[in-house]
Chains A and B, each alone.
Chain A
Amino acid sequence: MDQFPLTRLAPGTTARIAGIRSTNGTLINKLAALGVLPGLPLTLIQTYPAYLVQIGQTELALDRETARCIEVII
């Protein structure tokens, strides 16, 4: 299976985090600190007005630009 951006996931589905696609080092490190790490299951809860994802027991709100950087795999 190929990996694709989180924004193409349907709300309510769970996928595994594949990685972060970004050249913004600070963003990558911050997301890593929030628990966006490869292999972890991620559930997309909603997409509007912001993306809301759950990773483990953590819920994260992301704007579209940030959500697009997170790649997942089903």
Chain B
Amino acid sequence: MKNRILILGNPNVGKSILFNRLTGLYATVSNYPGTTVEIAAGQARLPCGLVEVVDTPGLYSLHAITEEERVARRYLMTAPDGVILQVADARNLSRMLPLTLQLLQARFRVVLAVNMLDEAAREGLSLNLDVLSHRLGIPVVGTIATRGEGLDRLKEILFQVLLGQISYQKTYELRFSPEVQADLSAIATNLKAVYPLPPDCLSTLVLAGDEEILELVRQQESILRWRKIKAVITAANARYPCGVGYQLAIEVHAQAEQILKGICLRLASRTRHWQNRLSRFTTNPLTGLPILLAVLYFGLYRFVGRFGAGVLVDQLDILFKNILIPAGANLVATIIPSPLWQSLFVGEYGIISLGVRYAVAIILPIVGCFSFFFSLLEDSGYLPRLAMLTDRLCKSLGLNGRAIIPLTLGLGCDTMATLTTRILETRRERFIATFLLALAVPCSAQLGVILSLLSPYPGAVLLWGSVVLLVLLLAGHLLDRLLPGSPPLFFLEIPPLRLPRLSNILVKTFSRMQWYFLEVLPIFIGVSVFIWAGRFFGLFQALLRLLEPAVKALGLPPEAAVVFLFGFFRRDYGAAGLYDLAASGALSVRNLVTAATTLTLFLPCIAQFAVMWKERGPVASLLIAGIIILTAWAIGFAVNILLSLAGL
């Protein structure tokens, strides 16, 4: 594909904003390394017509370590003829240039966009980009993507490169120390197969120990050559205390510094801008922790919980119950004569009255509010600070700071949070996070009901809260001890705080809602069909009879079994059932605390279970579900006994 522009670069340099500026289309951008594994594509209008533009996940170096970096590199390797638009942070050129040099070593046609010139200027940096362009032998354009500055010139240059009007004959070449150069030559002579990257670039990646490239070479070359290559790598690694991969990084970085000599001038000493000051406040524990609590309280509890899950859900639900469902019922009645088949669509658990209503009226507003809040956190650069402040807490649960994202997300909606465990690096972490979300992180729907039921008794709220928190900490700690491996090391780039752009946030929120809706709607429809069929075949009645003894053992009246079973399918039903029971005077305070605790720990809802099944597979999901049901029951049992011993 000759006419393709591939946007590439480190995380947090404004790739996606530049992509939006070029294409007018949106891709999920983020400050948090790990949330964009998907690739966004769009079309840019250049003087020569429409050209495909692809936005890739953050890439620090051609030596790909994370999954996102591999994805980005795969794109690179399948587009040897395309034009690479590398976006770089103007304040940090010495860290950005090694990637440029690697791309040039791989003989790509690179255009370098030195972005965020405004931030660089604020730091008193002046950059001579013409000299940089001359030394590298490639076009270099200064841009401020957020304001669209430099975009016209960038488009003009991309157009010229696509037409072949700019020559790439004399670009900068990487040179290494004699020892490293000898190793590279030794490897290159043993690479006989055809590869998607030129031999010198490939040998560098092989010597650095890039796992994906090594595997490729192992498959392509004869055993003899492979052994020779391995021997070169082993000998080289023994020569340097931190391994030869580190040595290569040092040598490439030294060349980048050499190129930048005299190009970056610090005109003034760094002015203490509000961003720097505020940044310290957010990371310092004395001020950072209160800020964190305030962000979570206002963002999650007030905005997502009260406004989204409360006000918006109520309004939409009224719309459904009073207008849409009756209208749907009339329509279905005129098309389908059989009441049985009618009930599949508009019965109590029908596709429209349960599936669609749930997805649209209950989940979508919560997800919308949450995405808005989350996008704000991302674009402001707060997310990595949140991870940093909570790393210690997460470590005690067998996770690291990154896991705070899905865990807080769970307080909004556990289903969405389970999907977000994808951002965690290891399978162990994803399992622990999924487990904790299912066990001890109540979603906004559960929280709302339970808090309103228990609020007349402050002691009950405290007891319920302490038990759930204790179970969370204990479960995390146990999983950390029992599962092989250890919590992953935590290190994260903390980008500067930035003022988010509303347009960016809105488009991002919308694209997330759209993605989520498409992912969740089929699940809800499937659940409606399942419940409909289950009721038809008397499955639920049988399950209720099975549940009753277990519920009685918790000291609860047998009617509570319905609450637990249907609570799993319909959270509002479970809640309403608990309300009714409490209103009829069938529940004492002891019963309320027991029921609330057990319900919180119990599997939250079938949608979450379905997502869990999809993300973790059947074995892990059934295992998690089994342990959770037993744990929830056992804790409920213990709470009931202890409370009755206390004379309640």
Contacts and interface: CB of A to CB of B under 8 A. Distances in A.
Contacts of A37: 249-250, 253
Contacts of B387: 61
Interface stretch (B134-142, B489-497, B513-521): B489-497
Contacts of A33: 60-61, 63, 65, 249
Contacts of B310: none
B401 A29 contact: no
Between A28, A29, A66, the greatest number of chain B beta carbons within 10 A of the residue's beta carbon is seen for A29
A72 interface: no
B590 interface: no
A24 B94 CA distance: 25
B490 A66 contact: yes
A15 interface: no
A7 B65 CA distance: 26
Given A29-B63, A48-B285, A61 B492 contact: yes
A19 B242 CA distance: 8
Interface in A5-54: 19-22, 24-35, 37-38, 45-46, 48-50, 52
Between B209, B280, B493, the greatest number of chain A beta carbons within 10 A of the residue's beta carbon is seen for B493
B616 interface: no
A59 B63 contact: no
A34 B493 contact: yes
Nearest to A19: B242
A65 interface: yes
Contacts of B493: 34, 58-61
Interface string B60-78: 1101010000000000000
Between A32, A37, A62, A66, the greatest number of chain B beta carbons within 10 A of the residue's beta carbon is seen for A32
B392 interface: yes
B284 A50 contact: no
A49 B391 contact: yes
A73 B253 CA distance: 20
A51 B60 CA distance: 22
Interface residues of B, number: 43
B388 A52 contact: yes
Interface string B372-400: 00000000000011011111100100001
B13 to A, nearest CB: 12
Contacts of A19: 241-242, 246
Given A20-B242, A56-B94, A50 B490 contact: yes
B91 interface: yes
A31 B491 contact: yes
Contacts of A28: 242-243, 245-246
Contacts of B245: 25, 28-29, 32
B123 A57 contact: yes
Interface residues of A, number: 34
A22 B241 CA distance: 9
A24 B492 CA distance: 17
B95 A26 contact: no
A29 B246 contact: yes
Contacts of B95: 34-35, 56, 58
Q: Is the interface of B mostly helix, strand, loop or mixed?
A: helix
Contacts of B285: 46, 48-49
Given A61-B387, A63-B491, A25 B243 contact: yes
A52 B92 contact: no
B136 to A, nearest CB: 20
Between B91, B94, B401, B491, the greatest number of chain A beta carbons within 10 A of the residue's beta carbon is seen for B491
A48 B126 CA distance: 34
B117 to A, nearest CB: 14
Between A26, A30, A56, A63, the greatest number of chain B beta carbons within 10 A of the residue's beta carbon is seen for A63
Contact of A65 (B61, B209, B489): B489
B491 A66 contact: yes
A30 B491 contact: yes
Contacts of B242: 19-22, 28
A63 B396 CA distance: 13
Between B209, B242, B279, the greatest number of chain A beta carbons within 10 A of the residue's beta carbon is seen for B242
A29 to B, nearest CB: 5
Nearest to A54: B494
Contacts of B61: 33
B208 interface: yes
A38 B391 CA distance: 27
B23 to A, nearest CB: 28
B61 to A, nearest CB: 5
A38 B280 CA distance: 26
Between A27, A35, A66, the greatest number of chain B beta carbons within 10 A of the residue's beta carbon is seen for A35
B283 interface: yes
A25 B242 CA distance: 8
Interface in B255-285: 279-280, 283-285
A58 B91 CA distance: 9
Contacts of A25: 209, 243, 245
A71 to B, nearest CB: 10
A24 B491 CA distance: 14
Contacts of A57: 89, 91-92, 123
Interface string B233-245: 0000000011101
B205 to A, nearest CB: 11
A27 B490 CA distance: 10
Nearest to B63: A29
Contacts of A65: 489
Contacts of B388: 49-50, 52, 61
Interface of B: 60-61, 63, 65, 89, 91-92, 94-95, 123, 208-209, 241-243, 245-246, 249-250, 253, 279-280, 283-285, 384-385, 387-392, 395, 400-401, 489-495
Closest 7 CB pairs of A and B: A33-B60, A32-B249, A61-B388, A63-B490, A59-B494, A57-B91, A62-B491
Given A35-B95, A37-B253, A57-B92, 14 more contacts: A22-B242, A28-B245, A29-B246, A32-B246, A33-B63, A33-B65, A37-B250, A49-B389, A56-B95, A59-B279, A60-B491, A60-B492, A61-B283, A62-B491
27 contacts: A19-B242, A20-B242, A21-B242, A25-B243, A28-B243, A29-B209, A31-B491, A33-B65, A33-B249, A34-B95, A34-B491, A37-B253, A45-B283, A49-B388, A49-B389, A49-B392, A50-B401, A57-B92, A61-B384, A61-B391, A62-B491, A63-B395, A63-B489, A63-B490, A63-B491, A65-B489, A66-B491
